[in-house]
Amino acid sequence: MNEMKTKFFLMAFALLLTMQMFASKKNDKKFSFAFFTDIHLNKNHLEKNHGGFQGIEKAIADAKKQKVDFIMTGGDNVDIDAIKTEDAQIAHTLYSKYARIIHNAGVDYYAAIGNHDRFWGCPNDDQLYNDGLFEKYVNKSYYSFDHKGWHFIVLNTANSVVDEEQKQWLSSDLENIDAKTPIVIATHVPFLSVYYPALDGKYTSADTFSNFKEIWDMFDGKNLKLVLQGTCIYTKKLK
């Protein structure tokens, strides 16, 4: 619990500082937001006196005290990808509890999907399969929104790729964005990761999504300011 709380608050503080630095001096449309990632609410957090859900509630409350405009996540909101069909109700319970918290947070909440947010405990033609359960309870698995002149893009990289349908959507989305409009991307699986260089002293393509270069090139000529990434949990490994 302490580790979860520390991670939330550090991320929120970092992003509050970042957006103040990026605010345009010309139009002075300053704003702040909090970024939480890899929350990993799991079945153990459903037990009495386990602090997982209290942790996210406290993190949201802390962000609101700092008067953030909104909250974003970097994926792995819950941890259900290993849940089997006979335990499917656990996945629904985790998501429903999380959904109640975020949809009643009193602040806009934009979540990205992560690999552990996917649900495999149903037939693959079921609408809840893969990212379906996430979309049922949380929000779309990829989307964009605008805030005070900035454009935010939330990608679905949970399957370690941006698929063809999503690429077409992204291309269309970017066509409507002026070259001067500042852009922020949120993705669970990184474009570039220093996880293995930090741990093993060597770079590998692990922990990056497979067509990251193709997606990166789609932002040529655009005013990309910031990329927010999840999946690499340094606090557990390096502290």
Average pLDDT over residues 70-95: 96
H-type alpha helices, the chain: 2-22, 52-65, 88-103, 132-137, 164-175, 195-200, 212-217, 234-238
Residue 228, pLDDT above cutoff 90: yes
User: CA-to-CA distance for 126 and 169, rounded, in angstroms?
Assistant: 23
List, for residues 10-58, the tens digit of each pLDDT value: 444 445 545 554 554 555 689 999 999 999 999 999 887 677 899 999 9
User: Is the model's pLDDT at 183 over the cut of 70?
Assistant: yes
Task: Reply yes or no on whether the pLDDT at 163 is more than 80.
Answer: yes
Inform me whether the pLDDT recorded for 237 exceeds 60.
no
Name residue, tokens 């909250």. 71
pLDDT at residue number 50: 74
Residue 141 lies in domain: 2-238
Of 235 and 171, the structure prediction assigns the larger pLDDT to 171
* Cut 0.85: pTM above it: yes
Across the range 93-120, mean pLDDT stands at 97
pLDDT at residue 39, as a whole number:
93
Instruction: Tell me the average pLDDT across 209-221.
Output: 96
Which pLDDT value is given to residue 20? Answer: 54
Q: What is the pLDDT of residue 109?
A: 98
Say which CATH number the domain at 55 has.
3.60.21.10
Q: Is the confidence at residue 204, as pLDDT, over 80? A: no
Cα 162 to the center of its chain, rounded Å: 15
State the pLDDT confidence band at 214, using cuts at 50, 70 and 90. Answer: very high
Question: How confident is the prediction for the chain on average, in pLDDT?
Answer: 87
Contacts of 30 (CB under 8 A, 6+ apart): 19, 20, 23
Report the range of poorest mean pLDDT among 75-79, 168-172, 202-206. 202-206
Q: Tally the domains of the chain.
A: 1
Rounded distance between C-alpha atoms, residue 74 and residue 14, angstroms: 14
Task: Classify residue 130 by burial, with Cβ atoms within 10 Å: 0-12, 13-18, 19+.
Answer: buried
Q: Is 132 a residue whose pLDDT tops 50?
A: yes
Residues pairing with 146 in the sheet: 151
Confidence band of 207 (pLDDT split at 50, 70, 90) = confident
H/E element, 110: strand 108-110
